[in-house]
Chain A
Amino acid sequence: MRLGSLTFIIAALFLVSACETMDEKGGADTSGLKAKTYDSKSFYVAPGTARDFVVNVGDRVFFALDKSSLSSESRSMLEKQIAWLKKYGGVNVVVEGHCDERGTREYNLALGERRANAVKDFLVAMGISPNRVKVISYGKERPAALGHNEASWKQNRRAVTVVAGS
């Protein structure tokens, strides 16, 4: 194994936070067909936390089939993310790039990476330090919505900004 231990620790942190995010969306088991949004009125959400980001900002943007360009809707979502990231300057993020199930595995890994980087590039262009933003592609391996129709595929062609701790 040639990975340095530091890399391992960082990777482990990312993984832990990725799991948390999944669980918060109710995505950890087969029953979760759609991402569940927490109601900010019924839960106390501590500011500056991963949950605060998901609930009060919004953690994801969506893409057209085979595309990695950001729509104006996506850009306004990312502007909200940027504002939050500027407020909590000690927080790092991992941008996960995902695809729908209607592509081939290897191409989708590349496409997911392209999507994650489209988000990273935008964050960096708007003043977030590149050191705070890592990217990872999951290709078609981690759908958010099940279902073999455009309604589900649309939700899966996404980039998710995951708060990774400081």
Chain B
Amino acid sequence: MMEKIVLFFRDRDAIILAIVAIVLSITSAKAELKVDITRGTVKALPVAVANFVGTNKKEVELGKSITSVISSDLERSGLFRPISQKAFIETEKSLDILPKFQNWRILNVQAMVQGSIVILEGKNIKVQFRLWDVFSQRQMVGQVYTTVISNWRRIAHIIADAIYKRVTGENGYFDTRVVYIAETGSQIRRIKRLAIMDQDSENHHFLTDGKFLILTPRFSPNRQEITYMSYHGGVPRVYIFNIDTGRQEILGDFPGMTFAPRFSPDGNAVIMSMARDGNSEIYTMDLRSRRAKRLTRHSSIDTSPDYSPDGTRVVFNSDRSGTQQIYIMKSDGSDVRRITFGKGRYATPVWSPRGDLIAFTKMRRGKFFIGVIGIDGKGERLLTDGFLVESPTWSPNGRVIMFFRETPKGKFGDKKSKLFSIDLTGQNEREIITPMDASDPAWSPLIP
């Protein structure tokens, strides 16, 4: 079977044209390698990722780097267990020769990844890879990409996503970025800057200089834009920031503090809170007409709104019952229903990309929890807890939740703050490495 995939994508550096996937594949409906990730406990799939081959030193080096990025992506997901290259019996040869499957089988490897690199005219690379089912000896996926050399990391993430998708049946999330707040200095005059990095902590850079407090960033679903709250000029308001141009623009002309912004699923509106005269209400602002519409009318605090993926409903946080609880309303503000009735206070609801779950922060008996609950208010599950865990954000495939964790540090009341990710099952909690303290993570969609 011949398969042809044409991918177009752009990034900060250049417009890239990636190409063609030639799959010499003989796919059949026979029992094939698959990780069932719907079960509660997932046993990681043993996989061998061989170094991508090249014909000169530069290609070989780049091949090793790409292999290492793919391997760490797969490993961090908790669904794959890349085996050490030291155990390999067969060393990489040409991509055009079939792997000696028996040499991989005795290592108990179920899937094997091989690939090759060619540098074209000194500035582009052509990267090919194949994923093999070692036991059935079938190629599961094979693709070719051409791009500028500087994009090699993205190619590695795209390949890891292709492997993830082929094996799990779900989209991957490796070709994504994370925007968050980098924290430095004393807790009393904390400096908070907007920072961005790839989901594997690489390509880290700051987007603001720390002169003003920046809080709670969120990605646009379809543009290179971030919305957040800034104390720019001492006036706390919601802003939109364009990653490509670096331009920051205040959103709307509200008489009170605006905060807790999120984009609508089509990227054409921002929903947020506006506080005035001691009362916080939820507003949505159309980004084209710049018209704001008020959605809640209640003397209580109404905040942390988030749209459902289809845009028809809004989940939010309110203390109208006397304590912080989570509510869902229609996106015109009608039909408000409370969904949390457990013991404790519930906050920061975020709607899962699949639409069926709400992730939240819960506070109970002096402890904080990250959990999920069905949109019907049923099936609450707590995934992790601590002195303070807050601000869940979903991977674009709805499989992983990132959040931040504060831990008391030292004798003088200091604390550290770091980002973590955890699988929806509550397994595989990992620190997301950042150069300094970190909070308020927001996961990007798959990079277009």
Contact = CB atoms under 8 A, between A and B. Distances in A.
A109 B413 contact: no
B301 A152 contact: no
A15 B273 CA distance: 23
A113 B235 contact: no
B415 interface: yes
A103 B414 contact: no
Contact of B390 (A27, A104, A111): A104
B259 A106 contact: yes
Given A30-B412, A66-B323, A106 B363 contact: no
Nearest to A8: B233
Given A30-B186, A107-B304, A107-B317, A113 B412 contact: no
Contacts of B304: 104, 106-107
B390 A30 contact: no
A163 to B, nearest CB: 15
Interface string B317-329: 1010001100000
Contact of A7 (B235, B259, B347, B366): B235
Contact of B253 (A2, A101, A111, A147): A2
A4 B5 CA distance: 51
B40 interface: no
A109 B303 CA distance: 10
A28 B189 contact: yes
Nearest to B237: A3
A8 B232 CA distance: 9
Instruction: Report which residue of A15, A18, A114 has the largest number of chain B beta carbons within 10 angstroms of its beta carbon.
Output: A114
A118 B256 CA distance: 15
A141 B390 contact: no
Chain A interface size band reads 35 or more
B188 A32 contact: yes
Contacts of A143: 187-188
- Count class of interface residues, chain B: 35 or more
B295 to A, nearest CB: 15
A110 B229 CA distance: 13
Contacts of A29: 186, 188
B355 interface: no
A4 B190 CA distance: 28
Nearest to B188: A27
A121 B234 contact: no
A33 interface: yes
Interface string A8-39: 10011011001000100001111111000000
B188 A146 contact: yes
B219 to A, nearest CB: 17
Specify which of A107, A116, A136 lies most central, judged by the most chain B CB atoms within 10 Å of its CB.
A107
B247 to A, nearest CB: 10
B440 interface: yes
Contact of A105 (B250, B323, B440): B440
A92 interface: no
A30 B273 contact: no
A125 to B, nearest CB: 13
A14 B273 contact: no
B348 interface: yes
A55 interface: no
A81 interface: no
Contacts of A147: 412-413
Contacts of A31: 412
Contacts of B233: 3, 7-8, 11-12, 15
Given A7-B235, A12-B233, A30-B188, A109 B440 contact: no
A120 to B, nearest CB: 8
A161 interface: no
Interface stretch (B58-66, B94-102, B275-283): B275-283
B361 interface: yes
Contacts of B234: 11-12, 14-15, 18, 136
A136 B412 contact: no
A117 B277 CA distance: 6
Given A3-B233, A104-B347, A105-B391, A148 B415 contact: yes
Contacts of B363: 102-104
A1 interface: yes
Contacts of B373: none
B81 to A, nearest CB: 36
A78 to B, nearest CB: 15
A22 B408 CA distance: 23
Interface string A43-56: 00000000000000
A151 to B, nearest CB: 10
B292 interface: no
A22 B236 contact: no
Contacts of B188: 22, 27-30, 32, 142-144, 146
B249 A148 contact: no
B293 to A, nearest CB: 19
Interface string B249-273: 1100100110110000000000001
Interface string A87-117: 0000000000000011111110111011011
18 contacts: A1-B250, A8-B233, A11-B234, A30-B412, A31-B412, A103-B363, A104-B304, A104-B317, A104-B324, A104-B347, A105-B390, A106-B216, A107-B303, A107-B319, A114-B301, A142-B189, A144-B188, A148-B408
Complex A-B, nearest 4 residue pairs according to Cβ-Cβ distance, in ascending order? A146-B413, A117-B278, A147-B413, A11-B234
